[in-house]
Amino acid sequence: MYLLGIGEDAVTAATDVPAYSVGTLGAISDNTNGTRVFLYVHAAEIITAAGYLCQVDSAGEAQMVDSTSSAPGTGVGLRVGAAMAAVANNEWFWIQVYGKGSLRTLADAAVGTALNSTATPGAVDDAGSGFEIINGLSLGTATGGAEATNADAYFNYPCISSITNA
């Protein structure tokens, strides 16, 4: 069951009582973006900005995905989603796990390619040899020229794969 009509960019301060239980799913549906689903998590570190990709452990602790946190033996199978706001350590916030949204990518990430973790926390790319693929994540429009937040990303309950990009 989903909570409907959440404030997906809301952040609850570390000193406050969390607005929801960690692991709560919320949803928003509109004519522009369709249905989008979000997961309520707790920040295990500072999250740079909206669109930065986070991985979530079984306790609901979120950190930005990078080549260290997603490496075999550490991140395989963990849920992944994009932060909806900049977040300080120990705050509670929503990550997007389903629907059209925004995603931080490195330069020249292409449409229709496997996206993988990178050495840059929170950003993905399609050309990272040896980095873990993120299943359930794709781009509708290529990112060209420079690192950017791509507003044409599609989330389908992504998770970290055990397969690395060749």
Distance from C-alpha of 47 to C-alpha of 107, rounded to nearest angstrom: 20
The whole-number average pLDDT for the span 146-156 is: 92
| Cα–Cα distance measured from residue 139 to residue 20, given in angstroms and rounded to the nearest whole number | 30
Q: What is the pTM of this model?
A: 0.94
User: How confident is the model at residue 131, as a pLDDT?
Assistant: 86
pLDDT in tens, 1-57: 677 888 899 999 999 999 999 999 999 998 988 999 999 999 999 999 999 999 999
Q: What is the CA radius of gyration of the chain?
A: 15
> Which of 82, 59, 81, 78 is CA-nearest to residue 69?
78
> Could you give the CA distance from residue 135 to residue 146 in angstroms, rounded to a whole number?
23
Which residue in this structure is represented by tokens 């522009």? Answer: 32
Report the alpha-carbon distance of residue 42 to residue 56 in Å, rounded: 9
Predicted confidence (pLDDT) per residue in 78-134, tens digit? 999 999 999 999 999 999 999 999 999 998 889 989 999 999 999 999 976 778 899
